[in-house]
Amino acid sequence: MTIDERAALPPGPTYSYAGFTAVLQPVEGSETAWRVVDGDDGRYFGLITTADPVKGEPEVHFAAHFPDEEKIPPIKIVPLWTAAVEFLIDARHD
C-alpha cells in the first residue's frame, strides 16, 4: 500500500494552487502545526494542524484554521494537507 504524499508528514514545504504558491512554515515548538503564507508577499492564509482521524479512519487528517481563529475548533478537517491549504486559499479574506 502506497501512502499518498499529500497525506504524508511533514506537509509542504510549498504548494501551488489557484495562482498562489503557498509556503508551509513549521510553527516553532510544534511538530503538528504549520503556518500557510503566500510565497510572493508573505500574506498569512491560516494554520494547518494534524487532527484526530474522522469517523475512525486510521490516517492522519489535517485541520484548517483561519487567521485569528487558531485556538478555536477548526472549521474544516480533511485527509490531505493539500486540501487544507486549498481550503484556506479559497476562503482567504480579501
In a domain, 86, yes or no: yes
The CA–CA distances, whole Å, from 70 to 6, 67, 73 equal: 22, 7, 8
> pLDDT for 34-55, tens place per residue?
999 999 999 999 999 998 766 7
Domain with 74, as residue range(s), is 11-90
**In the 8-state DSSP scheme, what is residue 60?**
-
pLDDT score recorded for residue 5: 76
In a domain, 22, yes or no: yes
pTM summary value: 0.88
> Structurally, how many domains does the chain consist of?
1
In a domain, 6, yes or no: no
Distance (Å, whole) CA 86 – CA 66: 12
Per-residue pLDDT averaged across 4-21, rounded?
Answer: 88
pLDDT score recorded for residue 93: 58
The CA–CA distances, whole Å, from 81 to 21, 40, 61, 76, 94 equal: 14, 20, 8, 11, 23
In a domain, 65, yes or no: yes
In a domain, 4, yes or no: no
